[in-house]
């Protein structure tokens, strides 16, 4: 009889323990707020590193908001424009006195005796100080029925070219009437009896043009017969 009474009593004593493990505790408002992201801190204050707290300087590339911190200055790289270099010049050479090219006089005299026999100088010689690609012009008048040649000598230049050019009208482009077919620093236009003859019964303005490759001095002389 005593054993029969004790067994139910022991079972009744265990019932609260078994039930206590399955029933949830009453909801805690502060725990509910923390679970769904609401802050239990006073307004404007947050737990360190959470919910909008300023990040540490340099973290994730964000600027710091710490007092006294100055973000590093950023600089934009600059480039210096460069001017393309060219190996040639254009435009007019610098005119100089023919006497400044006296070293070319013996060569010019020898070429005249060989290339333009029986012809006379038309005006004086003309000379210039050249850079690569530059030209020098000498105006003269082409007479009807006359024949013209040019001899040129270069000092230090690689190539000397000669032309006779006419300007038919101010609004029209120049016309090349004749040019040399020689190569090297010396040139002859219309040598050996092949002078340029004016095919028209009237004359007109023209010019002798020297163009050089390389840099140096050059002198030329127009001849006529």
Question: Does residue 53 lie within any of the structural domains?
Answer: no
> pLDDT (tens digit, 9 = 90+) per residue, 91-111?
999 999 999 999 999 999 999
Radius of gyration of the chain (CA): 52
Give φ, ψ of 133 to 5 degrees: 90, -5
Question: Does residue 170 lie within any of the structural domains?
Answer: yes
pLDDT of residue 126 exceeding 80: yes
Mean pLDDT calculated for residue range 123-150: 96
pLDDT band with cut points at 50, 70 and 90 for residue 167? confident
pLDDT on residue 10: 42
pLDDT of residue 60 exceeding 50: no
> Counting Cβ atoms within 10 Å, is residue 186 exposed (0-12), middle (13-18) or buried (19+)?
buried
Say whether pTM exceeds 0.85: no
Question: Does residue 60 lie within any of the structural domains?
Answer: no
Question: Does residue 146 lie within any of the structural domains?
Answer: yes
CA separation for the pair 203, 155 (Å, rounded): 34
Question: Does residue 177 lie within any of the structural domains?
Answer: yes
pLDDT band with cut points at 50, 70 and 90 for residue 38? very low
Question: Does residue 199 lie within any of the structural domains?
Answer: yes
CA separation for the pair 134, 210 (Å, rounded): 8
> Considering its fold, how many domains does the chain have in total?
1
pLDDT of residue 185 exceeding 70: yes
Question: Does residue 126 lie within any of the structural domains?
Answer: yes
Question: Does residue 189 lie within any of the structural domains?
Answer: yes
pLDDT on residue 37: 46
Please provide the DSSP assignment of 121-188 as one string: E-S--EEEEE-TT-EEEEEEEEPTT-EEEEEEEEES-SEEEEEEEE-SSTTSPPEEEEE----SSEEE
Q: 210 Cβ partners below 8 Å, 6+ apart?
A: 93, 126, 128, 135, 136, 137, 152, 160, 161, 162, 218, 220
Q: Residue 151 sits in which domain range?
A: 94-224
CA separation for the pair 73, 51 (Å, rounded): 29
Over pLDDT 70: what percentage of the chain? 60
Say which CATH number the domain at 216 has: 2.60.120.380
pLDDT on residue 139: 95
pLDDT band with cut points at 50, 70 and 90 for residue 6? very low
């Amino acid at each position: 009889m005593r054993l029969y009474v004790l067994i139910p009593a022991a079972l009744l004593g265990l019932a609260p323990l078994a039930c206590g493990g399955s029933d949830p505790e009453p909801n805690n408002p502060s725990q509910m707020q923390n679970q769904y992201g609401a802050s239990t801190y006073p307004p404007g204050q947050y737990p360190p590193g959470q919910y909008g707290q300023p990040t540490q300087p340099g973290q994730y590339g964000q600027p710091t908001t710490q007092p006294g911190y100055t973000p590093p200055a950023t600089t934009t790289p600059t480039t210096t424009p460069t001017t393309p270099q060219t190996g040639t010049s254009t435009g007019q050479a610098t005119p100089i006195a023919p006497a400044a090219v006296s070293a070319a006089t013996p060569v010019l005299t020898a070429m005249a005796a060989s290339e333009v026999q029986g012809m006379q100088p038309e005006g004086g010689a003309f000379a210039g100080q050249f850079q690569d690609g530059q030209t020098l012009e000498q105006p003269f008048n082409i007479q009807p029925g006359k024949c013209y040649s040019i001899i040129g000598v270069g000092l230090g230049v690689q190539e000397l070219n000669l032309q006779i050019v006419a300007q038919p009208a101010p609004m029209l482009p120049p016309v090349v009437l004749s040019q040399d077919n020689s190569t090297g620093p010396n040139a002859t236009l219309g040598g050996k009896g092949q002078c340029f003859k004016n095919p028209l019964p009237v004359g007109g303005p023209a010019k002798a043009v020297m163009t050089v490759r390389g840099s140096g001095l050059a002198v030329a002389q127009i001849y006529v017969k």
